[in-house]
Structure 1
């Protein structure tokens, strides 16, 4: 196992900079997820760690050693790709053991490693099968097994679940998390899916335009986002944003009633008021933030109902108990308690704190 350090890491393609001098420390045995929209630089960063992309600037250390110039096979790390990259003409056993092809091990030792890896993944009964005889989840496990069998110091995952259906993705998230708990090996995992990031990571790294916006635990990012982008990217459905203004100690917003909120500690001026859909509940108005809006759509989910509202021309999403399904084109009231409001500067979208 090993820690991974990124110090001012830069990647350029001609005149285009894909990664802008990022700094990141990944502790030994930590499960770190790089998350962000397509084109944010997360996969490029992962490929620089793997040695599949040259580093344009900065320093990359694995286990305390600078590896900028080392070939991928010299870094003792393993990568699992989005498309599995397993060989259709080889059996499961042969695919898992492919990374041992050049290893100086006896056939008996190689077979023992392959069997031990297959048992860890619950695939010992499938070793003779070909990939065409496997489900998508099983194929992904074969790809993980091929990485595991080499006993690397770190695993790199590049959107490994994006080709699976929703049920399999959920199952594989749990399997990969349990695998990490058993092995304790450092994992760097790239995804654009914030649910994967929230449910799997010890630490999340939010990226945008080749830069790191925030690093923290899932709870830290959910409860204390540093800016609007992070606030809306982390959490599903995304955080609602309403234009507002602070004058003195009063917080106001068009079409919104705000009572019992003291904004005296926040600088005056134009702001964005953030409230998560799960905190904005359909019901009677009370202390805090209340909105009266026209229902434009409803999404019954069983345990709860997502209610889309038009508030003075701004669309927001509120929640209601599962048995409550308001009718479209009716007017309802939704409210959020004090402590659940997020404030951001309207000028630079940076966080101003919570009320």
Structure 2
């Protein structure tokens, strides 16, 4: 196992900078997820850690050793790719054993290592099969097995679940998390899927335009986003943001009504009031907090809950109702979120308002 430290890490392609001097420390045995939209620099960052991309500035340290100039094979890490990258003409056993290609182990030791890894991943019955006879989830486990067999100091995962269907993604999410709990190996996982990030990570790193916006546990990012991007990216469905104008002690909402605002500073009087759909529920007797009324436009029935889209003041607001309570399209409803579940952002800077 190992620590991984990024110190003012930069990546440029010609005159274009795609990673802007990021700093990040990953603890020994930690499972860290880099998350963000396509093009935010997360995969490039992972590939620089792996040694597959040259860095343009800064330092990468693995277990305290600077690895800027080391070849990938000398960094004692293993990478699992999105497209599996397993050989179709080789059996499962041969694919896993390929991770030991450069090792000096005897044939018997290699076979023992392969069998041990296959047992851990539930691949023992498939050792003699070719990849074409496996499901997508089994192929991904083979790719993980090839990485595991080397006993690396760290695992790097580059969107390994994106080619799987929804059910397999959920299954593999659980399997990878269980595997990490069992092995305790430092892991860095890249995804654009915030559900994967929330369910798998010890800590999440939110990236945008080659910069780190926020680092924290899943609950910290969900409960205390530092800016609008993180607030909307973490959590599903995305957070409602309602324009409002600050006044003494409160703010007037664009959809009507007002809310109390904790004493805070903003660059202008224009702010955004945030409420997560799960906190906005149908009621006509709301106390202090956010109250929004509107006409039901869309209903999404999920079983455990019903997501209700209402049109209010020219804006669509998403609330949540119990799964067995299904409003009618066109019905007029009032939703309420308690004051302690509201978020406030400066519209100009997009930063969360800092209480004074």
* Fold equivalence (TM over 0.5): yes
Is 1:346 the counterpart of 2:347? The answer is yes
Per the TM alignment, residue 125 of structure 1 is displaced from its structure 2 partner at its CA by: 1.2
Per the TM alignment, residue 264 of structure 1 is displaced from its structure 2 partner at its CA by: 3.8
SS of corresponding position for 2:32: strand
Are the counterparts in 1 of residues 284 and 335 from structure 2 also a CA contact under 8 Å?
yes
Q: Distance in 2 between matches of 1:67 and 1:164?
A: 33
SS of corresponding position for 1:272: strand
Q: Distance in 1 between matches of 2:325 and 2:283?
A: 10
SS of corresponding position for 1:175: helix
Q: Distance in 1 between matches of 2:110 and 2:30?
A: 28
Per the TM alignment, residue 255 of structure 1 is displaced from its structure 2 partner at its CA by: 2.3
Is 1:169 the counterpart of 2:169? The answer is yes
Larger mean CA deviation between 278-287 and 117-126 belongs to 278-287
Is 1:202 the counterpart of 2:205? The answer is no
Are the counterparts in 1 of residues 35 and 204 from structure 2 also a CA contact under 8 Å?
yes
* Residue equivalent to 2:304: 303
Q: Distance in 1 between matches of 2:161 and 2:194?
A: 13
Are the counterparts in 1 of residues 242 and 272 from structure 2 also a CA contact under 8 Å?
yes
* Aligned residue runs from structure 1 range 308-327, under 5 A: 308-327=309-328
* Residue equivalent to 2:141: 141
- Structure 1 portions without partners, runs of 5+: none
Are the counterparts in 2 of residues 342 and 353 from structure 1 also a CA contact under 8 Å?
no
TM-score (norm. length: structure 1): 0.97
* Residue equivalent to 2:182: 182
Per the TM alignment, residue 285 of structure 1 is displaced from its structure 2 partner at its CA by: 3.7
Per the TM alignment, residue 269 of structure 1 is displaced from its structure 2 partner at its CA by: 1.4
* Aligned residue runs from structure 1 range 24-39, under 5 A: 24-39=24-39
Q: Distance in 2 between matches of 1:145 and 1:256?
A: 57
* Residue equivalent to 1:70: 70
Per the TM alignment, residue 262 of structure 1 is displaced from its structure 2 partner at its CA by: 5.0
* Residue equivalent to 2:16: 16
Are the counterparts in 2 of residues 272 and 344 from structure 1 also a CA contact under 8 Å?
yes
Per the TM alignment, residue 353 of structure 1 is displaced from its structure 2 partner at its CA by: 5.0
Are the counterparts in 2 of residues 32 and 203 from structure 1 also a CA contact under 8 Å?
yes
TM-score (norm. length: structure 2): 0.97
* Residue equivalent to 1:278: 278
Per the TM alignment, residue 250 of structure 1 is displaced from its structure 2 partner at its CA by: 2.2
Q: Deviations over 1:257-288 (max 9, x none)?
A: 346x3544455711100000000012224111
Are the counterparts in 2 of residues 285 and 334 from structure 1 also a CA contact under 8 Å?
no
Are the counterparts in 1 of residues 227 and 351 from structure 2 also a CA contact under 8 Å?
yes
Are the counterparts in 1 of residues 81 and 157 from structure 2 also a CA contact under 8 Å?
yes
- Structure 2 portions without partners, runs of 5+: none
Q: Distance in 1 between matches of 2:4 and 2:142?
A: 26
Cα gap change, 1:28 to 1:84, in 2 (>3 Å): same
SS of corresponding position for 2:156: strand
